[in-house]
């Protein structure tokens, strides 16, 4: 999409940049970078969210980069005619709350699970939403200051796990662009010091519950914790030498929230998560290498008496079904 169309659409409107409910570094940096870009091109905007910003890495970002995200309850004057740009998220996804404003635009790097018509849509499958926002500065020639570049580079580094997950040539090119302006020492310092004491409790709980079947690792956290913590533990489980596909889930609002990671050449984390949870009345989706999902408390009865067994069974069956489908497609091509 042409960045000019976004500016033209938003001009002379009250604009909100909505992140998903529990913003991670990529969402926070992308919204911040987009806010700076829009301001430089004559459009003022407000960053907003529902949920919480309580992860060590995101709280530190707010302070370090001077980001001002506003919680939805503190925006009582938002009107249905106000314009919303969803950033690192898409309308109708389970991880984003429906705000009063009109979702006229979307900037995201995840596959679309539930189609939605936007007046401006820039959805590119890449490692980080920060890469898309960085390209707006580059393509438009808009001045990029060091603080904004550093935030975008940090978000890019975090969401790609230091360029080890879901990275594309586009991400690499945007890294090279951002690196010219960013304070990379600050990026490294923040990256290496993003774990809090509370994270250790979640790790300990998950480690006690690890189950491995073939190359698939499962772990459960029996208390509600931040989405980012669940994702970190899913990365951790994937780091085990025998695991190529990890499923970590935590108690959340009477149900479960999931974080899934994939290193195999054939399993699509987003597709498998969506299908496995759909069978249970839940929802999910994401990239080839990473995905998330939710099973609400209202649907928890679908798991029966042995919830953990059913979760593992559903994911293993879905993985096997996908493997068979791929083999059948390859057989047809060869024949």
Strand partners, 262: 245
8: closest CA among 136, 120, 159?
Answer: 120
80-101: string of b/e by CB count within 10 Å (b at 16+)?
A: eebbbbbbbbbbebbbbeebeb
Domain range annotation of the chain? 3-192, 199-334
110: closest CA among 87, 134, 89?
Answer: 89
Q: What Cα–Cα distance (Å) separates residue 149 from each residue in 36, 37, 38, 75, 128?
A: 10, 11, 15, 28, 14
How many Å apart are CA 278 and CA 293, to the nearest integer?
A: 10
DSSP 4-39: HHHHHHHTTS-EEEEPPSS--HHHHHHHHHHHHHHH
Strand partners, 121: 106
Token pair listed for 196 = 């809090």
Find the DSSP H helices in the chain.
Answer: 3-10, 25-40, 56-65, 129-140, 146-159, 169-179, 184-192, 197-209, 227-238, 269-278, 307-334
**335 residues of the chain, pLDDT tens digit each:** 799 999 999 999 999 999 999 899 999 999 999 999 999 999 999 999 998 887 778 888 999 999 999 999 999 999 999 999 999 999 998 789 999 999 999 999 998 888 999 999 999 999 999 999 999 999 999 999 999 999 999 999 999 988 888 899 999 999 999 999 999 999 988 887 666 667 788 888 889 999 999 999 999 999 888 787 888 899 889 989 899 999 999 998 889 999 999 999 888 999 999 999 987 877 777 888 888 899 988 888 888 889 999 999 999 999 999 888 887 777 676 66
Q: Which CATH number fits domain 199-334: 3.10.310.30, 2.60.40.10, 1.10.3720.10, 3.40.50.970?
A: 3.10.310.30
Q: What Cα–Cα distance (Å) separates residue 259 from each residue in 93, 222, 249, 318?
A: 15, 14, 6, 16
Is CATH 3.90.1640.10 the right assignment for the domain spanning 3-192?
Answer: yes
Find the DSSP H helices in 210-305.
Answer: 227-238, 269-278
| Sign of the CA dihedral running 183, 189, 191, 196 | negative
Q: Do domains 3-192 and 199-334 have the same CATH topology?
A: no
Contact 109, 128 (CB under 8 A): yes
């Amino acid at each position: 999409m042409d960045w000019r169309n976004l500016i033209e659409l938003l001009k002379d409107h009250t604009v909100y940049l909505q992140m998903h409910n529990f913003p991670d570094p990529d969402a926070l940096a992308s919204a911040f970078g987009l806010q700076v870009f829009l301001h430089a091109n004559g459009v003022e905007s407000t960053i907003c969210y529902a949920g919480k910003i309580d992860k060590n890495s995101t709280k530190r970002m707010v302070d370090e980069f001077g980001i001002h995200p506003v919680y939805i309850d503190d925006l009582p004057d938002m009107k249905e005619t106000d314009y919303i740009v969803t950033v690192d998220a898409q309308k109708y996804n389970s991880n984003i709350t429906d705000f009063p404003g009109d979702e006229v635009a979307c900037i995201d790097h995840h596959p679309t699970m539930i189609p939605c018509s936007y007046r401006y849509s820039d959805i590119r499958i890449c490692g980080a939403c920060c890469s898309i926002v960085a390209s707006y500065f580059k393509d438009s020639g808009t001045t990029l200051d060091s603080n904004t570049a550093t935030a975008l580079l940090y978000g890019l580094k975090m969401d790609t796990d230091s360029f080890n997950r879901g990275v594309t040539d586009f991400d690499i090119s945007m890294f090279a662009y951002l690196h010219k302006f960013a304070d990379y020492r600050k990026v490294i310092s923040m990256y290496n010091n993003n774990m809090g004491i509370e994270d250790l409790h979640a790790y300990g709980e998950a480690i006690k519950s690890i189950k491995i079947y073939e190359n698939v690792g499962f772990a459960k956290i029996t208390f509600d914790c931040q989405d980012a913590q669940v994702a970190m533990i899913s990365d951790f489980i994937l780091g085990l030498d025998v695991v190529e596909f990890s499923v970590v889930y935590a108690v959340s609002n009477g149900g479960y929230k999931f974080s899934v990671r994939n290193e195999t050449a054939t399993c699509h984390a987003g597709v498998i998560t969506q299908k496995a949870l759909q069978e249970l009345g839940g929802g999910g989706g994401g990239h080839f290498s990473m995905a998330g999902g939710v099973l609400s408390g209202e649907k928890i009865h679908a798991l029966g008496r042995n919830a953990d067994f059913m979760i593992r069974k559903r994911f293993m069956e879905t993985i096997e079904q996908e493997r068979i489908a791929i083999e059948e497609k390859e057989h047809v091509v060869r024949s």
